[in-house]
Structure 1
Amino acid sequence: MFDEDGSLDPTLKFLLYAVIALAVGKMIWEWLTEDLSRLITKDLWGLIADHPWLTGLVVAGGLTVLILLGTILASRPGTSKYVSSDDASAAQVGGVVEPEVLTFRMKQLAEMNATGFEQACVDLLVRDGFRRPLRVGGAGDLGVDVTARDDEDGLLILQCKQYQNPVGSGHVQKFNGTARPHHGADIPIMIALNGFTQPAIDFARHHRLILVGRPELKKWAHGRHLYDVIGIQNATP
């Protein structure tokens, strides 16, 4: 019924809204065709005919209600807001301007292309306060898609996989062959939208590679700091 981001399935949401709309419509129609028609044609019209000044009050009251409703709707904040690291928008809270917290839904990440997925990881690193995050992925990248440094100048090397299936051991072995020996990574991290196979997990554990599978990626994308997700306290794991 609900997806992993906590949103109601779109089809069920449409059906629920349709049922509610039909029920409300039926109630309004019955009220209009029975009680309200009698009220307008007999009781209310007779009252206005006897007291014309009531017409002005009714019109003025209706306009006031419409103006107030429009003001409320115009000032109503969005229910969900996703901003990039370049957004300058901020929320006013208790007189102090606080920047919006960047988050992504898993569905958003799944719908991105490979470049967009890598850039989303860069944006999340910016949110977490890492220094000089940079997307460098492309042809001949030798196993590095994103680089960054933490507060203790530790070098993060990220490889980001947006595959539809779990990443296998072969990809993790290639990453192991370049992350530390070639790029000098202090913290080699491999991120996979749909997780890793068990052989890949076993290999990474043996060679001290950090894997961010789907559960960990969800926590990171939903607002938790990367080091909190992967259990790192200091620059050196």
Structure 2
Amino acid sequence: MRDDGTFDPLLKFIAGAVLTVAAAKVFWQWLTTSFWNWLSTDVWGWIIDHPWWSALIASPIVLVPVLAVAWHFLAPRGYVHYADEAYEDEEPAFLTYPIHHLDVMHPTDFEKACAALLVRDGFARVQHSGRSGDLGADVTAWDHHGRKVVLQCKHYNKPVGSRDVQTFNGTARPEHGADVPVMIGLNGFTRDAAAFAARHDLILVDRRILTSWALGTRHYDAIDEDEHRTAA
């Protein structure tokens, strides 16, 4: 003990360590003797004697994790697929996405939703890449005329700018061999981006077209309808 009446820190540490070891020893002895005997004799004996009550008590422990896993995989979210997964074996069931559902999706799930809509519309060999280094080809597919369609999907909270469109233009045809390069902007495109796309024959799917497409209009029909509406 120090002159001021306090204990030396080293002595306090040693005392604490001794108490911790002693408490751990007592706990281990209880766990391996009394508790284990209680568990193996009393509890297990009761379970054997009352199987139906035991099953009823245990069922929530089993059912809750099972239901949680089932909800995770079976909850209705449209089509949700993983990277590099081909879509050609999917049934083209009629699928729709309200635009506010697309708004709250993760960008990767947004790409998968666009791929699923192509499947719905009867496109062939639909495949989602959606990883870094894909050089702008988030989704590839072939249309009814045998043309390769390359989609880049931008889940931005603002209009897509000209620079992104220029980058896509530099890879869609030269790198991926796109016959139909399509860029999808959840919240549209800037005026400069739209002007650049028009000069380089790129198809832009803005929010209005996307809303129509996601709610059931076929992909090309949604684009054509918007062109006619704009021309009028």
- Same fold (TM > 0.5): yes
Deviation digits for residues 159-217 of structure 1 (CA, Å, limit 9, x no counterpart): 00000010000000000000001111000000000000000000000000000000000
Deviation digits for residues 21-54 of structure 1 (CA, Å, limit 9, x no counterpart): xxxxxxxxxxxxxxxxxxxxxxxxxxxxxxxxxx
d(CA) in 2 for partners of 1:100, 1:152: 21
After TM superposition, the structure 1 = structure 2 runs for residues 70-85 of structure 1, keeping only pairs within 5 Å, are 84=78
What is aligned with 2:217?
Answer: 224
2:183 to 190, 209, 221: 190
Greater CA radius of gyration, 1 or 2? Answer: 2
What is aligned with 1:136?
Answer: 129
CA contact (8 A) 1:142 1:178 kept: yes
CA contact (8 A) 1:83 1:103 kept: no
Q: TM-score, normalised by structure 1?
A: 0.56
SS in 1 for 2:134: coil
After TM superposition, the structure 1 = structure 2 runs for residues 114-129 of structure 1, keeping only pairs within 5 Å, are 114-129=107-122
CA contact (8 A) 1:130 1:150 kept: yes
What is aligned with 1:203?
Answer: 196
d(CA) in 2 for partners of 1:231, 1:141: 28
CA contact (8 A) 2:93 2:120 kept: no
d(CA) in 1 for partners of 2:118, 2:159: 23
Larger helix fraction of residues: 2
What is aligned with 1:169?
Answer: 162
d(CA) in 2 for partners of 1:133, 1:231: 22
d(CA) in 2 for partners of 1:157, 1:175: 10
CA contact (8 A) 2:111 2:138 kept: yes
CA contact (8 A) 1:167 1:192 kept: yes
AA of the residue aligned to 2:178: A
After TM superposition, the structure 1 = structure 2 runs for residues 1-237 of structure 1, keeping only pairs within 5 Å, are 84=78, 101-231=94-224
Give the share of equivalent positions with the same residue, in percent: 53
d(CA) in 2 for partners of 1:101, 1:143: 27
d(CA) in 1 for partners of 2:113, 2:159: 20
CA contact (8 A) 1:83 1:100 kept: no
In the alignment of these two chains, the number of paired residues is: 140
CA RMSD, 1 decimal: 1.9
d(CA) in 2 for partners of 1:228, 1:205: 18
Unaligned runs of 5+ in 2: 1-75, 81-91, 226-232
d(CA) in 2 for partners of 1:228, 1:216: 9
Unaligned runs of 5+ in 1: 1-81, 87-98, 233-237
More divergent stretch after superposition (158-167 vs 131-140): 131-140
SS in 2 for 1:134: strand
**Post-superposition shift, 1:231?**
2.2
